[in-house]
Structure formats: structure tokens, C-alpha cells
Amino acid sequence: MKKEAAAESPDAYVAALAGWQRDVVTALRSAVLEAAPALDERIKWRHLVYFSNGPVLLIRAEEERVLFGFWRGKRLLHIEPRMTGSGKYELRTLELRQGTPLERATVLELVRNAVALNHSVGNPTTVAP
């Protein structure tokens, strides 16, 4: 699989997508920025990453799925129990495939809680889990 160059901006990242992945990423991005307009949105590690007192969440479009992940996702499983993963920073991701249901209200609640956790617990990359 050929590695593509990183997008120059979040807008360019979305513009490079097509089909259902573009629709899902656009909807997620809109909800994320509605829930927490002060988030710093960047391209990092070749996908969308949102920061507030450290990394909060990511949106990564892949060939067959879109990942919606949270650095403190382990603490958000009561909101979205379908998130999976393990390892460093309590990271958990929700794997979205074409047609996977996800309510906008759930996205808003996840984002608001994730931002609040980063501010109450600290930057997840510098604080031991």
C-alpha cells in the first residue's frame, strides 16, 4: 500500500476523501467542533487530531473504515461501549464502517466529556494512566 503525503490542513484532509468516508468524517468533524469550538484541530500522524491540554481525540479515514478515537476513551465506555483498544493513554477507538450507526448526541457527549477529562486529569501524554 502506497503511503500518501500528509494533508496540509484539516480542510485538505477532508477534501481528499470520497464517498461515505467523506460524509462520516464531515459529520464527525462538524459535531466535534460544535461540542468544543476551542479545540485545536491539526493534522498529526496523517489524520485529524484535536487538542485541548494535550491530545483529546482523533478522526482517521482508512480504505474500509473511519476510526473515531479518544486518548481517554477507556473512561468514556459508559457513553459508547463499542469503543475498543488497549495500551498507552487509555486510548479507545470506535470503528465506523459504511452504515455503522452513531448518534450526533453521542458524539457531542463523548467530545465534551473527553475535553473535561483532559482538563481535570491532565494531558494524557504526560500523566500516567
CA dist 39 and 35 (Å) reads 9
**Structural domain contains residue 3:** no
pLDDT of residue 2: 41
3-class secondary structure, 8: coil
* CATH label of the domain that carries residue 67: 3.90.1150.200
Element (H, E) at 24: helix 19-35
Q: Flag whether 129 is in a domain.
A: no
Q: What are the pLDDT tens digits along the chain (129 aa)?
A: 345 678 899 999 999 999 999 999 999 999 999 999 999 999 999 999 999 999 999 999 999 999 999 999 999 999 999 999 977 779 999 999 999 999 999 999 999 999 999 999 999 988 665
Identify whether 57 is part of a domain.
yes
Q: What are the percentages of helix, strand and coil residues in the chain, rounded to 5?
A: 35, 20, 40
**How far is residue 57's CA from residue 109's CA, in Å, rounded to a whole number?**
13
The total number of structural domains that make up the chain: 1
* 4 in any annotated domain: no
In angstroms, the CA 108 to CA 6 distance is 27
| pLDDT at 87 (0 to 100) | 73
Range of the domain at 24: 10-121
What confidence score (pLDDT) does residue 127 get? 64
What is the model's pLDDT at position 4? Answer: 63
Contact 82, 103 (CB under 8 A): no
- State the pTM of this model: 0.92
Of 70, 57, 66, which Cα lies nearest the Cα of 22? 66
Given this model, what pLDDT does residue 101 score? 96
For residue 65, which amino acid is it? R
Does residue 115 lie in a domain region? yes
How far apart (Å, rounded) are the C-alpha atoms in residues 43 and 71? 16
Give me the pLDDT at residue 6, please.
80
